[in-house]
A and B are shown apart, each in its own frame.
Chain A
Amino acid sequence: MMVDRKEIAHLGDLVKVDLKDPEKYIAQVEQILNYFEGLDKVDFKSEKTLRNEIQYDDLREDKYEKFSSDGRPLVDFLKKAQDNFVRAPKMI
């Protein structure tokens, strides 16, 4: 697996991180991915994977409960703009 500037920039875009020093990551990521490639050579006897299970009957009952933290609503803990809205940047 070769990792180049373009690939690192693409990965940075997927996880939305501006890489101040992309060069720094190229060699390391390439080295680690090459190490990961060993996984491809494993000879598996079974296809199964490990997952926890929960019984349908043990799922949460459908009950409304109002959240409060010491009597304060959650929005008090968030950054807010006008009218308790959260402000986001332009979407265009």
Chain B
Amino acid sequence: MTKIGLEIHCQLTRLESKLFCPCKADYRNLPPNTNICPVCAGLPGSLPILNKKAVEKAAMISLALDCKVPDKISFFRKNYFYPDLPKNFQITQYNAYGPTSIGSDGAVQIEGKEIRIRRIQLEEDPGRLVYEGSSEKTQITLVDYNRAGTPLVEIVTEPDFENPRQVRIFLNVLADLVENLGVSDPYLEGAMRVDGNISVGSGNRVEIKNVGSFRDIEKALHFEITRQQSLVERNIEVAAETRHWDEARKITVSARSKEEEQDYRYLPEADIPVISITGGQIEKLRTQMPESIMAKRERYVKKYGIPAQVAEVLSSDKFYSDLFEKSHSAGNAKAIANIITTDLMGFADTREKKMELKVTPRHIADLADAIVGNKLTRNSGKAALYEMIKTGRPLAEVVSSLDLGNLSDASSLEKIIDEVFKEEEKAVAEARQNPSTINYLVGKVMRKTKGKADPAITLEILKKRLS
């Protein structure tokens, strides 16, 4: 049996300041070393001052993953030398002497399978290394500390995954969850990083590090399963080791440095006192948490009668479920859910495209109302939607300028149907014989009206005339 466990690093990108100092949490796109202070650059005499909101957001992740949040939270130092680490230790959390990390013992259900969460810890991100020079001889390392000290949550699972597919599903669920919580933007470069560990059968555990993206962790795990299985088949023992994912060659390679032998000499971080948090404060945080994706999904189904599949798609996407929340009323909820999941989501499926949308909750509400009130057909609705997305013009304006309004008055429709009857004598005769072919005639009417004919009224007239 294959056993896979994950360590996911998730940046708390929605914070204003770093974990232990008031420098910007958003280090992206800044010139090197312009977002640093004595604390995050590790100057002598500086002291870490813990960001309350970081504790709050990490606690929310813990609660959302069904973890226990202890009433005493403490920090430890993990000691190792590396140039991206200004103090040559990382302030993190450690549960070897009792559960004092922000969360522990949680669980997530994915497709009926329980993935246990071992612990969740709040820690600082190191700086960034940039390598220059092509050959080993000329290589130099440049360090940018802008990222140093930005808040990171590490989520450690038990080795509960049986295959890479479950890993992918879990990671998607997790990404949606942290986005829905408003704590992270998982699609930002480097905002979510995954390390894995995997063992096949009773073989040794292998750590996989240096994986750039979600997609690559799946590939890396597949590669490892094949590699380990083929070793087992040849009666070769799988070495307990750390392997790096080589993105270019799409294989894992043994890490030359003996990382597993590192002795981190953990010790309590005395500069940060033990944080005492009451049950009442934790409960208050729980009430401040946005509705979970699960709860949202259930509400969509129960309250509005939205089909389960549509509700699932809609609730998992923070951007679109927010749009739904802001635009719907009892009467148009179902129509809005449809518009968003069938038309809008297909049109704008990436973060960039979502950002470019000019459509507002007002647009969506007006559109749904028009469709529900038979003033627009689904087809015309789609055309109007695409126009609004691009221009941001109000619905009424779009409908009149594109001439999309429904043809629903009987006399106009009668005239058009007259024409169709003249042109399609054979089909009319056939429809009289066999009423199931009537849709062909409806289609003809639609084509003549460029999709504006009200399908219900059209059908009604056609039936009357054919009988």
Which positions in A face B, CB cutoff 8 Å?
14, 16, 51-57, 59-67, 73-75, 78, 80-92
Contact = CB atoms under 8 A, between A and B. Distances in A.
B294 interface: no
Contact of B140 (A51, A60, A74, A90): A90
Chain A interface mostly:
loop
Given A55-B276, A56-B281, A61-B52, A90 B141 contact: yes
B16 A62 contact: yes
B185 interface: no
Contact of B33 (A52, A57, A84): A84
Contacts of A65: 17, 22-23
A62 B15 contact: yes
A78 B41 contact: yes
B33 A54 contact: no
Contacts of B34: 73, 75, 84
Interface in B236-258: none
Contacts of B426: none
Nearest to A10: B263
Contact of B274 (A16, A51, A62, A86): A51
Given A14-B265, A62-B53, A64-B16, A86 B275 contact: no
B145 A86 contact: yes
Interface in B1-46: 15-17, 22-25, 31-34, 36-38, 41, 43
11 contacts: A53-B275, A62-B53, A62-B54, A64-B25, A86-B33, A86-B83, A88-B83, A88-B142, A90-B141, A91-B83, A91-B131
Nearest to B145: A86
Contacts of B23: 64-67
Nearest to B143: A86
Interface of B: 15-17, 22-25, 31-34, 36-38, 41, 43, 49-55, 72, 74, 81, 83, 129-131, 136, 139-145, 263, 265, 268, 270, 272-278, 281
A56 B265 contact: no
A73 B33 CA distance: 9
A54 B273 contact: yes
Contacts of A51: 74, 268, 273-274
B22 A59 contact: no
B141 A59 contact: no
Nearest to A86: B143
Nearest to A60: B49
Contacts of B33: 74-75, 78, 80, 84-86
Contact of B81 (A16, A54, A61, A81): A16
A17 B273 CA distance: 30
A63 B17 CA distance: 6
Nearest to B133: A90
B51 A60 contact: yes
Contacts of A67: 22-23, 36-38
Given A53-B274, A60-B51, A74-B41, A84 B129 contact: no
Contact of B129 (A57, A60, A91): A91
Nearest to A62: B53
Contacts of B140: 81, 87-88, 90
Contacts of A90: 136, 139-141
A9 to B, nearest CB: 14
Given A61-B53, A90-B140, A74 B38 contact: yes
Contacts of B273: 51-54
A59 B275 CA distance: 9
B33, B53, B131: most-surrounded residue (chain A CB, <10 A): B33
A86 B50 CA distance: 26
